[in-house]
Amino acid sequence: MYNSNPTLEGLTKVIDPKKQGEVYGQTDNNNQSSEPERKFYIESYGCQMNFSDSEIVASVLSDSGFGPTRNLEEADLILINTCSIREKAEETVRKRLRIFDKVKRNRPGTMVGVLGCMAERLKTKLLEEEKLVDLVVGPDAYRDLPTLVGTAESGQKAVNVFLSREETYADINPMRLDNNGVTAFISIMRGCDNMCSFCVVPFTRGRERSRNAYTIVAEATDLFQRGYREVTLLGQNVDSYKWTHPETEEVFSFARILRMVADVHPDLRVRFSTSHPKDITDDVLFAISEYENVCNYIHLPVQSGNSRVLKLMNRTYSREWYMDKVKRIYEIIPDCAISSDMIAGFCTETEDEHRDTLSIMEYSNYSMSYMFMYSERPGTLAERKYQDDIPEAIKKRRLQEIIQLQNAISFNHNQRDIGKVFKVLIEGDSKKDKNDFKGRNSQNKMLVFPKKDGLKPGNYTYVKVQSATSATLIGEIVE
């Protein structure tokens, strides 16, 4: 049974570009009857699943008497929710841990904990060798946090990195840490079975398991009733969602759960992330096309545009197969926006193979992409079988070519929107000008437009695009 746990009001998210992470804490809250005696501070790095997990952690800690703060110096418990997908992410975390260690020295009794994928990958090394942390908690052990805190307080090593085949946190209502009150994440599944050769996720998050479909719908309904107007369904690979009712043995696919959440209310927008190309079906595409409130946007990582490299990556599809999938998306959803992930300089990649990635970007006409140099991760198949033989200078140059091309594609993509009118969900004030609102359209594009009396975050409005950059559409509200 899904338990509705009221959101703690007055939470704020602060983004520090120097840290490249997100900090969660608490602002003044007049509705709280009493101030928690102990406070926790949490930073999150990496994918959307990590930010969603931080909301689960916040809920667990709240139930055990902790309150959130965004003031590092007043925290009794400092947590960092980590990412291991790339070496740079781990380096960033280590730098933050050294800063946290200084805070500990100035405030005796403060505890520091590492959560998530880096905790799972490095386990007791963080406690024994680096001695910067008091708790190490894997992504399936957040229920155990209160016990682990008690263990650390007694001076013992507190570690739980057990990977579960069942844990989905389906009965925990996450504490919504992003205080815009408009958009929220809903985790529908955990883990990954795909075993891409470059990726540590199967080792840090375990095998795939899907959440009870009815708890997903209940969470979406609860969010809508509390004023939220957009939910993003999350999973390492949402398209492989598959839940079987324990009594009726009825099978729920991702396409079905997409329709069920869309049926909560026509004013509740539904997004999802991330899709593996091999698993996204026509049924999912038809569900998107059937519902106005299911957004016309698909994140479809390609990683490489060359079939030989894709085979080395164990992506289970070829260049031609991926291109056919893109063609099918545009056939069923003509105004769909597709985004992607690209890796520059994977093992043994040649210049011609790199150019295949550039050409598939042009063919797919991505609205935007996440682009990275290949970073060898310990324990992966690629680390065991292949030599990371592309010099860093070549990786950087290839990455820059990918970025430059994507910027040009995104700019042209957005230029074609000039003169069009889009339904936009207002998310809040523009970062650059408080006289402007910001909000996204169905294609996940950010629009900025002057405010109008009577409108507020959470409202829908129609905006006509007047100009565009590679990242933003600029317009004005129309009747």
Query: What is the secondary structure of 357-412 as a DSSP string?
Result: HHHHHHHHT-SEEEEEE----TTSHHHHHS---S-HHHHHHHHHHHHHHHHHHHHH
Query: What is the secondary structure of 270-297 as a DSSP string?
Result: EEEE---TTT--HHHHHHHHH-TTB-SE
CA distances to 159, 321, 333, 366, 392 from 328, in Å: 47, 11, 8, 15, 36
Task: Return the ∠ at Cα 137 (arms to 80 and 19), rounded to 5°.
Answer: 15
- For tokens 């260049």, the residue is 319
Q: Which two tokens stand for residue 53?
A: 């997990």
What sign results for the dihedral spanned by CA atoms 50, 103, 96, 202? negative
Closest by Cα among 431, 436, 473 to 455:
436
- For tokens 């085949």, the residue is 165
Amino acid at 164: S
Distance (Å, whole) CA 323 – CA 304: 12
In this predicted structure, what is the pLDDT of residue 12? 28
In this predicted structure, what is the pLDDT of residue 5? 34
Task: Print pLDDT tens along the chain (479 aa).
Answer: 344 332 322 222 332 323 345 554 443 333 344 567 899 999 998 888 888 999 999 999 999 999 999 899 999 999 999 887 777 778 888 899 999 999 998 888 999 999 988 888 887 777 776 678 999 999 999 999 999 999 999 988 899 998 898 999 999 999 988 668 999 999 999 999 999 999 988 888 899 999 999 999 999 999 999 999 999 999 989 999 999 999 999 999 999 999 999 999 999 999 999 899 999 999 999 999 999 999 999 999 999 999 999 999 999 999 999 999 999 999 999 999 999 999 999 999 999 999 999 999 999 999 999 999 999 988 899 999 999 999 999 999 999 999 999 999 999 999 999 999 999 999 999 999 999 999 999 999 999 999 999 999 999 999 999 999 999 999 999 98
Q: Are 440 and 446 in contact (CB under 8 A)?
A: yes
Closest by Cα among 467, 46, 13, 189 to 476:
467
For 390-401, b/e burial (b = at least 16 CB within 10 A) is: beeeebeebbeb
Distance (Å, whole) CA 364 – CA 163: 37
Amino acid at 361: M
In this predicted structure, what is the pLDDT of residue 321? 98
Closest by Cα among 186, 293, 181, 190 to 242:
190
In this predicted structure, what is the pLDDT of residue 47? 83
What backbone phi and psi angles, to 5 degrees, belong to 149? Answer: -60, -45
Domains, the chain, ordered by start: 11-160 (3.40.50.12160), 421-478 (2.40.50.140)
DSSP type of residue 8? P
Q: In this structure, what is the dihedral angle of CA atoms 278, 283, 286, 291, given to the nearest 10 degrees? A: -110
What backbone phi and psi angles, to 5 degrees, belong to 102? Answer: -65, -40
Distance (Å, whole) CA 91 – CA 180: 30
- For tokens 């003031």, the residue is 71
Task: Return the ∠ at Cα 117 (arms to 112 and 120), rounded to 5°.
Answer: 80
What backbone phi and psi angles, to 5 degrees, belong to 141? Answer: -120, 20
- Beta strand pairing status for 251-253 and 472-478? unpaired
Residue 47 DSSP SS3: coil
Q: Are 302 and 277 in contact (CB under 8 A)?
A: yes
Helix extents (H) in 185-301: 201-205, 213-225, 254-262, 282-290
In this predicted structure, what is the pLDDT of residue 113? 93
In this predicted structure, what is the pLDDT of residue 29? 35
What backbone phi and psi angles, to 5 degrees, belong to 322? Answer: -65, -45
Amino acid at 396: K
In this predicted structure, what is the pLDDT of residue 404? 98
Q: What's the number of CA atoms in the CB half-sphere (13 Å) around residue 179?
A: 16
